Chain A
Amino acid sequence: MSTPAAAASGAAPTTFDFPREYHFPPFFTRQTNVNTHRAQLEKWSSLVLAYCAHHKLYKLSLSASAASNNNNNNNDESPSGGAEDLFHNRKLNRRLSTADAREVLEFMRKEGRAEFVGGGDGSSSGREGGGGAVAWIYWKTPEEWAKEIESWVDETAQKGTVLTLYELTQGEDTRGSTFHGLDPDLLQKALQVLVKRGKAQIFGQEDSQGVKFF
């Protein structure tokens, strides 16, 4: 996405406090015991959510995060490493394999906390570019985003006015709101929730869309 450079300076990324299990070497090996493995998945799931929420990452690319290349295409606001250190603990020299990371995302998908871009369940090799599946990480689900946008519109008395999508996430007015800087695709998803409920209507072309709230 083409975020202006100014946005990046807005919130200086503070360092993320990794939970205790991140410093536990076996955490990066898929556990053989069923119950242990489930506990492991749950811990990974909450770690991924907390990590993405902290860095305001809306999408996670497995190839970018598991392999340690720097050019992740997720979000310009994130620190240059992106999600690089999420699945890779440099200090411990431990890494969650791509297959295991995919399993984590799949677990999160079943919990309604992730969704593979382009659909699918992640087990079939992603449609997008080879093995690197990209997934939405719902530290807030589209429904939750929709709710926040709705209450912001309500609070600022903008029902009935037309706002551009750009305005909603990049405009001066929404600076300070939780959805400022929201990924455009995710914004679409959230607005679709409102459209379905009859609370909003979307106009316009691809690149200059507007939305009206009721």
Chain B
Amino acid sequence: MSVPRFWRRLKNLYNLIGTHCKKCGGFFYPPRNMCPKCRRNGVIVPFKFKGAGEVVTFTIVHSAAKDYAKLTPYILAIIKLDEGPRLTSQVICSHEDIHIGMKVKSAFRKLGEESDRGMIYYGTKFIPVES
């Protein structure tokens, strides 16, 4: 992804900042600036998510696109945040432990890099909540 495109999303990717509709109470991550329920009548404001959630479903990716090939095999998951929205991210844990319903929390991690000297991309992944 190009630098400007990534840069524009830094606060969302680094700090799990999405949006909230003050009219209907909906929470959005990834952020939306049009509420799907209220549409033009919605009142959208930024919202920082706590980062707690659970695994809805997951896979272990063995064959990835070029920028992610070094990471394989990695756990890709859909996480439901406690505030309601679902997102796609990676879970950092043992492949034996990952399961549907696992409680997780957000963590600041490296997403990838363009080359040895290129941009390094950071963002939010998830780790298990220690029981």
- Asked if A pairs with B, the answer is no
